[in-house]
Amino acid sequence: MAERETLEVDVLIVGAGPGGLSAALRLAQMQQAKGGEPLSIAVIEKGREAGIHQLSGALLDPSTLHDLIPDFAARGAPLGTPVDNDNIYFLTETGKLRLPITPPPFQNHGNHIISLSSFTKWLAAQVEAEGIDLFWGFPGQHVLYEDAAAPGVERRRVIGVRTGDRGIGKDGKPKGAFEPGADIHAKVTIFADGVRGHLTKQLYSQLEIGIASEPAQFAIGIKELWDIPKDRLKPGTVIHTLGYPLREEEFGGSWLYAMADGHVSIGFVVGLDYKDPLFDPHAAFQHFKRHPFISSILADGQLVRYGAKALPEGGWASQPSLFVDGALIVGDAANFVNSMRLKGIHLAMRSGMLAGETAFDAIRAGDSSSAALKAYKTRVDASPIKTELYPVRNVHQAFGAGLMAGGAYAGIAMLTRGAGLPDLAGHFGHREMKTIADYYGLAKRDILVASNAAPIDRKLTFDKVTGAHYSGTHHDENQPVHLLVQTDVCHSVCGPEYGHPCVRFCPANVYEMVDNGAGGLRLQINASNCVHCKTCDIMDPYGVITWVAPEGGEGPSYDGM
Ligand SMILES: Cc1cc2nc3c(=O)[nH]c(=O)nc-3n(C[C@H](O)[C@H](O)[C@H](O)COP(=O)(O)OP(=O)(O)OC[C@H]3O[C@@H](n4cnc5c(N)ncnc54)[C@H](O)[C@@H]3O)c2cc1C
């Protein structure tokens, strides 16, 4: 049996998204500026190559990029298309009302329509050019701690990460060439594992990093890339919509960003705190595309790529403890997204930079205790992250009371920059879902049809299986299922109470109820369809689904997304 390797580095970064890569680059810059013994830095990423697991809108606010890489233009940053015009509409079932003014959060002059996947690829190249090792296809599987029982150790201290094993079959036994994951020990570990990062989630349960903050809030974003006739939309056109097909009780909206050559990014965001157990976010997206305004834009066009990903929406109030002994948390893993602006890339980059600076100072001082790493929180509090997020700290929470109440709260927050507004208590979104009996007032059982089911024509609207195909996702079937489900709960109570909502909230048909051959149903997990969106880990009403990383290098292929 192969031996497990142990590697020692100064800084380990988990996740090569904008947050993790910015941390790595800042560390290299600090090294150049301050000299001394070179730091050893490693970045591990579950995707098999740079950018392949990145999905975003994406409108880039370039403010952090200016500070991190001032000569980004000379270095060929793929900044896509500058925003030319902003439009915001309220949709009814067949009509549209253009808002006469664009509210400040929706003003995008100076921003760029980018592919986050391409941008991340470029950022990774900048990091590699600094001689930093990036390990593609290496998922972190477990957080490693110093033994709290050891003499002189009072609290559990993060000492690194164990990466996933390779070569285990679905029966849990080695298949072919078995390669155990490595233990990577680091003086400072930076968790940049994105929304609902599964290692950051371990910190929530093992170190209680969320105990002093509001519950995290999430939304699911479903995105498609389309090619449409080139003269249909002026490149740089930005359209956001509110309203149809969502109801007052659901939070969300859409985007449509026109790039050069007829490429269009179109997507729909739904808060993962909806009440209707039979609601299906993917079906809502199909209805949205069938709206006359949107279908006229997509007419004669072609779907190029599909994907989905959750995003954190709880904002400033939901940030966890950002530092613990031996570790820091950045970007989406720390819930740094401005949900009013639907923007988090520049915040992930900024928090990555600040974490990089803090880690560098801590290592030079020979102290990576939480007392030393607290400097990261001080830096965040003095940075544009707080300036941007604090005024809108409770906006998503306010929308819990409906579109009108949320809109009013958001309006006041903009006028007062958040001053004088009460802090609202957040809620765990999955607990907002009502049982079928509570929501419909009758005990319907075994209903698997979405309350908002949409017609599928495979031209404009697509089913989830086709969507998964267009995401390019791939997983070897012969490996342990990476979605850990307590199926006893699923069969005994979830079916009768909620009608198996996983079938509906998953955007890739991973969860399917099939005939069990005895007159009933059984859950079939199509793990190979998974697009790593994390929605199931977030939205299951009993919280009995845990997403863990599959074998390294597997998952979606988000080229161009
Ligand atoms: C639908 C949607 C639309 C959005 N639109 C916009 C927009 O228009 N503008 C904007 O600014 N922001 C937007 N955002 C938010 C923005 O994309 C995120 O805030 C940003 O990508 C966060 O960067 P990050 O580095 O923290 O996380 P990510 O970009 O998610 O990167 C995390 C990385 O960690 C890797 N990873 C995860 N777990 C592990 C593990 N265990 N081991 C190794 N690697 C791991 C992942 O594969 C991934 O590459 C949008 C988000 C969504 C979902």
Cis bond before residue 58 (omega within 30° of 0): yes
The rounded distance, in Å, linking the Cα atoms of 530 and 507 is 9
363-389, pLDDT tens digit by residue?
A: 999 999 999 999 999 999 999 999 999
Least confident of 111-125, 145-159, 207-221, 524-538: 145-159
Looking at residue 445, its pLDDT comes to: 61
pLDDT at 164 over 90: yes
Cis bond before residue 550 (omega within 30° of 0): no
Atom nearest to 120 CA in ligand 1: 29
For 206-242, b/e burial (b = at least 16 CB within 10 A) is ebebbeebbbbbbbbbbbbbbebeeebbebbbbbbbb
Assess whether the C-beta atom of 549 lies below 6 angstroms from ligand 1. yes
Neighbours of 121 (CB within 10 A): 18
> Which mutation among 13, 311, 537, 551 tests ligand 1's pocket best, with the greatest number of atoms within 8 A of CB?
311
In the predicted model, what is the mean pLDDT of residues 434-446? 81
**Cα dihedral 354, 355, 361, 362 in deg (nearest 10):** 150
Assess whether the C-beta atom of 199 lies below 6 angstroms from ligand 1. yes
Span from the CA of 337 to the centroid of ligand 1 (angstroms): 10
Whole-number percent of the chain with pLDDT over 90: 84
Looking at residue 237, its pLDDT comes to: 98
Span from the CA of 117 to the centroid of ligand 1 (angstroms): 10
* Bridge partners for 307 per DSSP: 223
pLDDT at 47 over 90: yes
**What structural domains does the chain harbor?**
6-79+114-216+315-389 (3.50.50.60), 218-312+434-547 (3.30.70.20), 395-431 (no CATH)
For 187-204, b/e burial (b = at least 16 CB within 10 A) is bbbbbbbbbbbbbbbbbb
Span from the CA of 67 to the centroid of ligand 1 (angstroms): 20
In the predicted model, what is the mean pLDDT of residues 182-198? 98
Alpha helix positions (H), 393-534: 395-399, 403-416, 436-440, 464-470, 487-489, 495-498, 502-505
Residues in the chain: 561
Looking at residue 162, its pLDDT comes to: 98
Confidence category of residue 212, pLDDT binned at 50, 70, 90: confident
Span from the CA of 461 to the centroid of ligand 1 (angstroms): 26
Q: Quick check: 399 and 253 in contact, CB under 8 A? A: no
pLDDT at 288 over 70: yes
266-282, pLDDT tens digit by residue?
A: 999 999 999 999 999 99
Span from the CA of 264 to the centroid of ligand 1 (angstroms): 20
Cα 398 versus chain centre, distance? 21
Looking at residue 225, its pLDDT comes to: 98
| 3-state secondary structure at position 469 | helix
* Bridge partners for 191 per DSSP: 14, 329
In the predicted model, what is the mean pLDDT of residues 212-234? 96
Confidence category of residue 423, pLDDT binned at 50, 70, 90: confident
